[in-house]
Amino acid sequence: MFSLSITQRLSRRVEISAGGKQWSVLFTHDALLEIWELTGLDAMAGEVSLVRPSGKLLRAALFAVLHCAGAGPSLAESGELIKLGGLAKLRLALIDAWDASMPEPEPQAPRSDDSRAKKPLTLPEAWGVARENLRLSDQEWLAMTPRMLQVLTRQRLENMRWMELMMGTVVAFNANFSPCHPKQPFAPKSFMFHPWPEEMDDHGVSGEEIMSVFAQLPNPREPRSIN
């Protein structure tokens, strides 16, 4: 059980049999890069559809997921694994793995035909976000699915919101009690760059939440090293 990677243990299990063995398959960034190299299609940018794939895409997808799962068939051997009798089952398994690997739809996201809809990230942009914002190494990013990256991104956003709320509380307090205070007092969230969406904004601040935010600040008792 513990031979499985953290990606496999955190994701829904989808198995494909190849070479007389069952392989737990997922579309990690490594697999998506393989597909990009083999077909020129960027899965992150929405160019890949496993619902009606071409033969080239299906073979590349099977090769990529098996390769990342540790199975070692070549591209041609992957093609030979695709039997006509098992084609439907294989496609369903790949769609299932795709579903387990790709980000969940954001509840607040506008529809894709809406002009406000965010353009999906390309693979290089997703790598940039992982490196720059989340400080992941190349290997960590390659081993992750886009869904895991989404969880980390959401967690980072949540942390940012709490920090901004704390800062906003201080700023609002200063403004509201200053000699030139506003007629209508400022709310702390007026100073947040990433406010919570309206329907998520009805919770009060608990002591635990305040403690978790302050725990991220540097400890003033520890001496700071000066270089």
Partner 1 sequence: MPFANLTIGKNEFLLLYDFNALVDAEEEAGCNLLAAFERQGNNTARELRGLLFAMTRKKHDDLDIKQIGALINMDTLRDVTLAIGEACAVAVSEEFAEKWREAVDIVADVDKEANPRDEQIPEVSDSSSAHLGVCDIQAYQAGGDLSGEQMAHLSKCSACFAAIDGINAERLKVA
Contact residues for partner 1, defined by CB under 8 A: 52-56, 58-59, 76, 79-80, 82-85
Q: Provide the minimum distance between the beta carbon of 62 and partner 1 in the complex, in angstroms, as a whole number.
A: 10
**CA-based nearest residue to 94, from 131, 136, 66, 122:** 66
Both tokens assigned to 159: 């942390």
- Please report how close the Cβ of residue 47 comes to partner 1 at its closest, in angstroms: 14
Number of Cβ within 10 Å of residue 24's Cβ equals 19
Instruction: State which residue, 22 or 54, has the beta carbon closest to partner 1.
Output: 54
Residue closer to partner 1 (CB basis): 84 or 215: 84
Q: Write down the least CB distance from residue 60 to partner 1, Å.
A: 9
Coil, helix or strand for 21? strand
CA 154 to chain centre: 8
Smallest separation (angstroms) from partner 1 to the CB of 39:
10
Angle between helices 123-132 and 146-176 (to 10 degrees): 50
Of 39 and 101, the one with the shorter C-beta distance to partner 1 is 39
- For partner 1, which is the closer residue by CB, 57 or 172? 57
Tell the smallest beta-carbon distance from residue 21 to partner 1 (Å). 20
Instruction: Quote the DSSP letter at residue 12.
Output: -
Which of 14, 52, 65, 58 is closest to 39 using CA atoms? 58
Residue 33 CA to residue 35 CA, distance in Å, equals 5
Residue placing its CB nearer to partner 1 in the complex, 79 or 103: 79
